Structures are given as structure tokens and as C-alpha cells.
Amino acid sequence: MKLLQARDDVNPDKPDNKSKTPRRSSWSNGHEMVVRLLLIGDDVNPDKPDDIAKTPLRGAARQRHEGVVNLLFTRDDGNPGKLDK
């Protein structure tokens, strides 16, 4: 994961053929270590809606991934009250 993050040509927000991004998949599938790595850095917006206008917190909470929800709440720049579009 760290090797992928170091590359300029890797975009965790680029959708696959099913319109799912790696970032979205990590939140909604409960991959805590991947989420932890994706949350590193200043260019990360934990409130950024995915391609279907759902926030990461909603995806993690809907799937009952408590660990991911807790990680998202630890960010100072997150807004847990932000509504989906």
C-alpha cells in the first residue's frame, strides 16, 4: 500500500469498471489498515463523497465497520454531521 501511495500515477479516487474507487471499497469493506494508510496526509478529505455521492462515514457505518467509523471520527478535519448529497 505504501509503495502504491508513493507513485504519482496511482489515484485512490479513480473508479473501476463498476464505478467503485479503491478509497470507497476500503471504507465500505472495513479494511482498517488500508483506511488508516489512506487517511495519512494533508490531501485526504475524509468527508469527500464517492462517485454515488455517499460519504465514507455512511459507507462504513452502513456496513457496521466500527473500527473504520472510529478511524474516521479521529480526524480533526472530518465532519460526522455532513449529509450525503
Which residue type, as a one-letter code, is found at position 32? E
Contact (CB, 8 A) for 71 and 36: yes
Please tell me the total number of residues recorded for the chain in this structure.
Answer: 85
- The dihedral through the CA atoms of 33, 37, 40, 45 has a sign that is negative
For residues 3-30, average pLDDT:
76
- List the chain domain ranges: 23-78
Q: What CATH number is given for 23-78 in this structure?
A: 1.25.40
- pLDDT tens, position by position, 18-61: 777 777 788 888 989 888 888 876 666 777 777 677 788 888 88
pTM given for the model = 0.71
